[in-house]
Structure 1
Amino acid sequence: MALSIITNLSTLSTPALCGWLTALLAIWYVVTAIQTWYPLRHVPGPRLASFSYLWMLWNDIRGTNFEKYANFGKYGSLVRNGPRSLVTDDPEVLRKISGARSRYTRDEHYYSASRVEADRENMITILDTARHDAWKAKVASGYSGKENPDLEQAVDAQVMRLVDLIRRKYLSTSGNLRAVDFSLLSRYFTTDVVSRLGHGKAIGHLDEGEDVFGWFGDVKKLIVFLIATDIPWIRRVVMWKPLFRRFGPKPTDKRGIGRVLGYTRNIIAEHFEKDAEPHQDMFGAFIRRGLTKEQLEGEAVLQLVGGSDTTATAMRGVILHLATSPSAYNQLKAEIKEAISQGRASSPITLQEALKLPYLQAVIWEGFRMRTPVTWGHYKVVPPEGDTINGLFIPGGTAIGHNSLALSRRKDIWGDDAAVFRPERWLECSAEKKMEMDRAVEIVFGGGRWMCAGKPIAVMELNKVFFEVRLPSHGLLLLLRVFDFALVNPVMPVKETALAGFVHTDMWMRFTEAKA
């Protein structure tokens, strides 16, 4: 019969053959679309997303992800955002998925796309739960700072270098504007912090305020790559090892991420030298806990890229909302000035001192809520037997991720003004309500075995930089006068694209000497 069909087709003219092929293709698409739609047909969400990845692609290209995901609440708590993927803004569901006894595993959607080199893994790219737990056990102590005796002093040094750079190159005066793109400056700071803690020496972005390796400026390539990872077949092509080896970054590159690979390889080689003294930094801690040279080569770049960019995003979010909220800005100034006058704040401020300033903490966490470093994703796979979530049965193999954009705007958690930056909400509520809000916003760090290993350092960076970079402070030996700031263009303060995280460019700011 098959031979007969082929024979008949061979007698058709070219237009007729094209018509038959088009019809067959259409039938195939309809059948596969129905097969894709059916298993999760009962979960609400955008209609196109239920059977096609075009919904994801369309919003990635148009830059409308923030609006779409932040308003997913209209569908409910559990929403279908792709043919086989769901996102949820329910904190309890997310804690269940990430719990120590959870049988959910990582989905390849996000984690496989976090690979920087074809032949190097890192803690994010490992999908097998047992292997991930073993790897994390080797690096957790280093990320926590327990084996770095001068952790806080190292962060202090970078804060002071940031202050010095602004004073030397970007300090505006009356009639003299010296604007700085804070989207880059924030990354210079966080990358120098992470590199100093990671291997004992800051890369040097804060020396002259320059992209030393030329790896920050090419944002367009980053956007294209993140878009590609949303589409499974594109992701598999992009991450195909032979192709990735040929066109991906290489340690021999002169600029870009490849240059970073080469830089970290040299540092790691020094740490593994036979006669090298024990290093009191993260790399040293990783090595003492059993991380091999090859494993460290993979982890090092994750540490620089992931550890710096997420914290820089949080910094930009807080700065942006403070700059557009004069009442919050002035109240924060008043609190810190009072702390200084009463001797409750040293210079630089310690983490413990910062944690005792209630309005500073409210500003940090409110800014963190408004612009979460990660937006949605970090998908986990439902166990083979399936699971029931919010009364809906979800078949095994479905990917479920967080929707932090919707979670951070839930009115039942944050109030009717959830879309507004208002730090006071953290101070007006009861202790029980504050605990609920704390736990909700901290979900962005993950939970259980998937908790972000670098959370302690990120919290320290935020507390220190938001105290020192804006307001007058002093110490026993040195009087420091730092800065006031304003947006250069309040009408369009920043160019923002929401993908797996926020991509910010052109956040131009004006720094001046702080008024007494």
Structure 2
Amino acid sequence: MTYIEFKNLLPSSIAGVAEVCAVLFFTWYIGTAAITWYRLRHIPGPFLASFSYLWIIKNNVLGRGAQEHESLRKYGSIVRTGPRYIVTDDPEILRRINGARSSYPRDAWYKAIRTEQHDNMGTIIDTARHDRLKAKLLHGYNGRDNVSIEAMVDLQVTHLVDVIKRRYVSTKGDPKSFDLSQVIRYFTLDVITRLSYGEPFGFLDAEGDLYNYTNSVDRLIMALSLATDLPMLRWIIFSPLLIGFLPKSTDDNGLGKVLGTAKNIVKERFEKENSESPDMIGAFMRHGITQPEAAAEGFLTILAGSDTTAVAIRSTLLYLMSTPTVYHRLKNEIREAIHSQPISTPITVEQARKLPYLQAVIHEGFRMRPPAVYGHYKVVPPEGDTLNGLHIPGGTAIGHNSIAMMRSQKIFGSDADSFRPERLLECSEEKKYEMERTIDLVFGFGRWMCAGKMVAQVELNKIYFELMRNFDFQLIYPAKAVDEMSYFVYVQKNMFVKITASV
């Protein structure tokens, strides 16, 4: 049916109104696109990004956020990625806009990661409110308020090693392969739930996807990434019409079930006025956090503190297994350390920090696969700003392009695309400081620095040492070592390995 035939079927009044509406919408769209293009016309970037969100949509639908953002290096240090979005791979710009005295507030980008419409430290946009809340919460994150972070991580590292020995180690007559990506994920979930609530939720012991949680999170990631990046979609998803379809604490499985379990633990703590527990929720309560705040913050630790660390661990282990020279050098350093000095089981953070190659591996792993690919946008103040000689209009959202920053040849050398921990050991102290300081930006900077940085560092200093101390690893499918999609974060699955006892 042609447009003319369709039009003739409608009453003349309706057809006329439809035509007017169509013309008005088309005019509005063209005008908006032109204005949008004009504001940031001097910022280079992909053509589609100059007037629409199509570049962002394409990357998310294809799961190619990392590859596409890394390719932006050809445009320079500041690149346009959407109508009002720009990203930068310049460490100094990121330190400036995220510093404690910066006047750049958070963008509404953060709002998409709220749970049941409750704000938490990760979603609050108001800077003063964020700072007040973070000051209270840090007592739980930094381990100084009766929260023994290292001791709790030790329990989970020991349990992981025991589980691998019992279930997954191959012997001559009993070869086995398993998906290491899931086991690592269960480990990080148990670590963060023990730290937050005093006891692990039991993902490792369940021998499967407890509550179907990880599967539900993976299915949500693309939608979540689109919602963070697309203001209109964010508004639609959180509208009264659709909000009831989002995960909620009354669900029987998935993300909602874990949210409900965490929420019930907090409720019981407050009903019993039990603020003495040596865990993060106990510390939050001791510093005046309310029950709704504690529930929201507790779940944030699970959502933000498990998968990001799991990506770092998986990726580093993958690079180790794929790079024999690095693998064997780290194994040798571990053997020599065990034979030459008293090393506890598990190794302490203090002992681990004295092993230079282990530290280089930790940093290089973060560099090659930063847990957050891009995003975490801040808003340029109303008066605008000048960055690297470019005027940035007020209201523009600027975020990090970590994947490009971590491949900077200027900072990391001509082989920046290669996994080579030696780069941190073969340079001057000044250069090493520059590289490590840049890599540390994966945790953010200034007032917006990740509160869980210390927790992640404790985990990483222990997990690589203990896994390499006890086991030898081999990829089952080296040509397709892992299934990986990337949005503003990575989703990794099917990393099958064979493990034998270390010799």
TM-score range, shorter chain: over 0.9
**Alignment partner, residue 6 of structure 1:** none
Do structure 1's residue 186 and structure 2's residue 201 form an aligned pair?
no
1:20 shift after superposition: 6.8
**What SS does structure 2 have at the residue aligned with 1:321?**
helix
Task: Check whether the contact 2:84–2:397 (CA below 8 A) recurs between aligned residues.
Answer: yes
Given candidates 485, 490, 493, the residue that maps to 2:473 is 485
**Alignment partner, residue 61 of structure 1:** 61
Given candidates 262, 265, 275, the residue that maps to 1:264 is 262
Change (3 A) 1:271 1:372: same
The whole-number CA distance in structure 2 between the counterparts of 1:248 and 1:17 is: 36
1:461 shift after superposition: 0.1
1:60 shift after superposition: 1.3
The whole-number CA distance in structure 2 between the counterparts of 1:22 and 1:494 is: 47
Report the AA paired with residue 114 of structure 1: I
- How do 1:414-425 and structure 2 match up within 5 A? 414-425=412-423
Report the AA paired with residue 151 of structure 1: I
Q: Is 280-289 or 178-187 further displaced after alignment?
A: 178-187
Task: Check whether the contact 2:226–2:233 (CA below 8 A) recurs between aligned residues.
Answer: no
The whole-number CA distance in structure 1 between the counterparts of 2:261 and 2:124 is: 24
**Alignment partner, residue 5 of structure 1:** none
Change (3 A) 1:157 1:230: same
The whole-number CA distance in structure 2 between the counterparts of 1:275 and 1:20 is: 63
Report the AA paired with residue 500 of structure 1: F
Report the AA paired with residue 422 of structure 2: E
The whole-number CA distance in structure 2 between the counterparts of 1:285 and 1:69 is: 39
Task: Check whether the contact 1:188–1:209 (CA below 8 A) recurs between aligned residues.
Answer: no
1:364 shift after superposition: 0.8
Change (3 A) 1:241 1:144: farther
**Alignment partner, residue 4 of structure 1:** none
1:449 shift after superposition: 0.7
Given candidates 371, 374, 380, the residue that maps to 1:376 is 374
Q: Deviation digits for residues 78-108 of structure 1, max 9, x if unmatched?
A: 0001100100001000000011111000001
Q: Deviation digits for residues 322-369 of structure 1, max 9, x if unmatched?
A: 010000000000000000001242211000000000000111110110
**Alignment partner, residue 231 of structure 1:** 230
**Alignment partner, residue 514 of structure 1:** 502
- How do 1:453-468 and structure 2 match up within 5 A? 453-468=451-466
1:442 shift after superposition: 0.7
Do structure 1's residue 116 and structure 2's residue 115 form an aligned pair?
yes
Report the AA paired with residue 394 of structure 1: I
Gaps of 5+ in 1: 1-8, 472-481
Change (3 A) 1:10 1:248: closer
**Alignment partner, residue 28 of structure 1:** 28
1:26 shift after superposition: 3.6
Normalized against structure 2, the TM-score is what? 0.94
The whole-number CA distance in structure 1 between the counterparts of 2:209 and 2:473 is: 23
Report the AA paired with residue 332 of structure 1: L
The whole-number CA distance in structure 2 between the counterparts of 1:241 and 1:438 is: 46
Report the AA paired with residue 155 of structure 1: V
Q: Is 280-289 or 207-216 further displaced after alignment?
A: 207-216
Change (3 A) 1:175 1:68: farther
* Paired positions, count: 493
Aligned residues with identical type, % of pairs: 50
Task: Check whether the contact 1:486–1:509 (CA below 8 A) recurs between aligned residues.
Answer: yes
**What SS does structure 1 have at the residue aligned with 2:497?**
strand
1:211 shift after superposition: 2.1
**What SS does structure 2 have at the residue aligned with 1:400?**
strand
**What SS does structure 2 have at the residue aligned with 1:229?**
helix
Report the AA paired with residue 460 of structure 1: V
RMSD across aligned positions (CA): 1.9
Change (3 A) 1:318 1:148: farther
Do structure 1's residue 94 and structure 2's residue 82 form an aligned pair?
no
**Alignment partner, residue 478 of structure 1:** none
The whole-number CA distance in structure 2 between the counterparts of 1:436 and 1:460 is: 22
**What SS does structure 2 have at the residue aligned with 1:187?**
helix
The whole-number CA distance in structure 1 between the counterparts of 2:499 and 2:441 is: 33
Structure with more helix by fraction: 2
Report the AA paired with residue 94 of structure 1: L
The whole-number CA distance in structure 1 between the counterparts of 2:114 and 2:290 is: 18
Change (3 A) 1:108 1:277: closer
